A = this chain, B = another copy of it.
Amino acid sequence: MIDDTLYIPLHVQLSKSLEEKIKAQEFIEKIPSERELMDMYSVSRTTVREAVTKLVNDGLLIKVHGKGTYVNKKPPIQEWLSSLNSFTETVRRMGMVPTSKLLTSKKLKADEHKIGVFKEEVLMIERLRYADEKPIAIERHYYPLSIGERLSKFNLDKETIYDLLENELGIVLDEAEQYITSKIIEEHLAPYLEIPSGSNVLLVERTIVDEKGNVVEYYIGQYRPDMYTFRIKTKRNINKK
């Protein structure tokens, strides 16, 4: 079950194994106690706790002192909003496989979509996003042409856009301002997400700027609320003095 001849740390192997069993519904509500896991996998309690702590931080498990460790039944995908993450990163961290399908990629006059942040032409990229082959969201990215033209040379089905921006185009994503609300899905998009038209979606609107304050991206995402939750952890006094 766990192989210590591999180079992979035991707590990582254990963590993955637990994650698979959770997804496979082998643990429905409660997972075995830490001491039981010690025996089951023949590792020390420290290793068990390290593996479990990882899954707790990822939001998959919830520990209750004196009772046990439980499977979190909230929607499977939770986006961590205290740092700027992409769909790809988020889905992957939840132990699922993210994929994309490119729907549209075209130039637009900035005023067509009433996008105040851009003045001239923009490139609009529309993608359908999947997690484990289930459609989760429709995302629309808008870029100034200077960025968009370089971006459109890549395979946007495979690549994660933010990696491309940062690593291939050398653009630094610095700050983002996001709005989250909910609305009725745009009629023609309902079939893509495999939900009835008239359903509600989570709407995310985002503007990203670089270090100099230039708008790098404007983004609109529509997410299935039964599959996606935004998660925010805040702590006081970190930057306050």
Residues on A lying within 8 angstroms of B by beta carbon are 23, 46, 57-60, 62, 64-65, 67, 70, 74-84, 115-116, 173-183, 200-202, 225-226, 228-239, 241
Highest count of chain B CB atoms <10 Å: which of A23, A81, A232: A232
User: Once the chains bind, are A64 and B116 in contact (CB under 8 Å)?
Assistant: yes
Residue ID in chain B nearest A173 by CB atoms: B236
Question: Looking at the complex, which one of B76, B79, B182, B237 makes contact with A200 (CB distance below 8 Å)?
Answer: B182
Which partner residue on chain B sits nearest A166 by CB separation? B236
Q: Given A64-B116, A116-B64, A241-B23, A235 and B84 touching (CB < 8 A)? A: yes
The docked-state distance in angstroms from the alpha carbon of A132 to that of B194 is 38
Determine if B234 and A82 form an interchain contact, defined as CB atoms under 8 angstroms apart: yes
A-B contacts besides A78-B179, A180-B232, A200-B225, 11 pairs, CB < 8 Å = A59-B82, A65-B116, A70-B115, A78-B239, A84-B234, A84-B235, A176-B232, A176-B236, A180-B202, A180-B230, A181-B225
The chain B residue sitting closest to A236, CB to CB, is B84
**Once bound together, how far apart are the Cα atoms of A89 and B44, in whole Å?**
35
**A178–B232 touching, CB < 8 Å:** yes
Cβ distance A1 to chain B, nearest Cβ, rounded Å: 20
Asked if residues A234 and B180 are in contact (CB atoms below 8 Å), the reply is no
Query: Is the pair A81, B232 in contact by a Cβ cutoff of 8 Å?
Result: yes
Interface pair A234/B178, CB less than 8 Å apart:
yes
Could you say which residues of chain B place their CB within 8 Å of the CB of A76?
Answer: 82-83
- Going nearest first, the 9 A-B pairs with the smallest beta carbon separation are A200-B200, A64-B116, A83-B237, A182-B225, A182-B182, A84-B236, A180-B230, A181-B229, A178-B232
